[in-house]
């Protein structure tokens, strides 16, 4: 029986898990880490780098190193959140013919799902190395606030990566499952906070017993797509750059 893998496609990092002996197991990648940076780079010799290798060369190749592309997936170029990114990202964000936000690197324009697909392929390879067999099906998590366009774009990324996406699951629901809340009895409502690398989400989830099975429903969700680890890092960098400018009279930001 073919294995269906579970993938957390994150803004900053991604990971992949399989069911092993009836229990979920988060797999180590080729570098021995359980999380892989969601970074894709196009090197000077046209090699495509994914994960830690892409992150390591980001300083010397910033315009062709793509990170936090999840913020752009399924979005239109004119959206406010995309416009905010134009001045923040070292790589170029462009407007596609259909109005979508695309990314340009090495003089090539690509849709965000194409970038995410590179990360998903890395997750797929990690799972195949562990299982010793081909993997063709996956469940992928997305933020609860993702709209239909963003969810479809995530499915498209899976298809490009050679995966049939069996289900898109909300990240707070996945968190509730990970904490074993489905094993507790009775109907109830819970709050899930999700502070990630690029977003902060707050969701109210109802867990109901229906015919002996637990059903999860997201009743309400809200959040900020520009409040996460990436933004904390940027604030710290800005503060340090300002302090350096005060002391030395030089702006490190150019």
Q: Domains of the chain by range and CATH?
A: 4-231 (3.30.420.40)
pLDDT in tens, the chain (254 residues): 578 999 999 999 999 999 988 888 999 999 999 999 999 999 988 899 999 999 999 999 999 999 999 999 999 999 998 998 898 899 999 999 999 999 999 989 999 999 999 999 999 999 999 999 999 999 999 988 889 999 999 999 999 999 999 999 988 888 888 877 666 677 889 999 999 888 888 999 998 878 777 888 889 988 887 788 888 998 999 999 999 999 999 998 77
Pick from 11, 63, 61: which is nearest to 39 by CA?
11
pTM: 0.88
Helix axis angle, 112-131 relative to 148-160, nearest 10°? 50
Question: Active-site residue numbers?
Answer: 8, 70, 171, 194
Residue 120 near residue 9 (C-beta atoms within 8 A): yes
């Amino acid at each position: 029986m073919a294995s269906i893998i579970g993938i957390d496609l994150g803004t900053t990092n991604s990971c992949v898990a399989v069911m092993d002996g009836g229990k979920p197991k988060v797999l180590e990648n080729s570098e021995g880490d359980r999380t892989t940076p969601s970074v894709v780079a196009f090197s000077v010799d046209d090699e495509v780098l994914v994960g830690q290798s892409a992150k390591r060369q980001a300083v010397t190749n910033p315009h062709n190193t793509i990170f936090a592309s999840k913020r752009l997936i399924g979005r239109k170029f004119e959206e406010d959140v995309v416009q905010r990114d134009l001045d923040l990202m070292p790589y170029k964000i462009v407007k596609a013919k259909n109005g979508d936000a695309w990314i340009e690197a090495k003089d090539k324009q690509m849709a965000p799902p194409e970038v995410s697909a590179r990360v998903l392929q890395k997750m797929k390879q990690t799972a195949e190395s562990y299982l010793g067999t081909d993997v063709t099906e996956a469940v992928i998590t997305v933020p609860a606030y993702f709209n239909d366009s963003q969810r479809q774009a995530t499915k498209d990324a899976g298809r490009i990566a050679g995966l049939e996406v069996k289900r898109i699951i909300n990240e707070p629901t996945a968190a509730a499952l990970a904490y074993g809340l489905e094993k507790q009895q009775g109907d109830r409502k819970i709050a899930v906070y999700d502070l990630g690398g690029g977003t902060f989400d707050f969701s109210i989830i109802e867990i109901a017993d229906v015919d002996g099975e637990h059903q999860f429903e997201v009743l309400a969700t809200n959040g900020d797509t520009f409040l996460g680890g990436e933004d904390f890092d940027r604030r710290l960098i800005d503060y340090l750059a300002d302090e350096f400018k005060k002391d030395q009279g030089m702006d490190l930001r150019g």
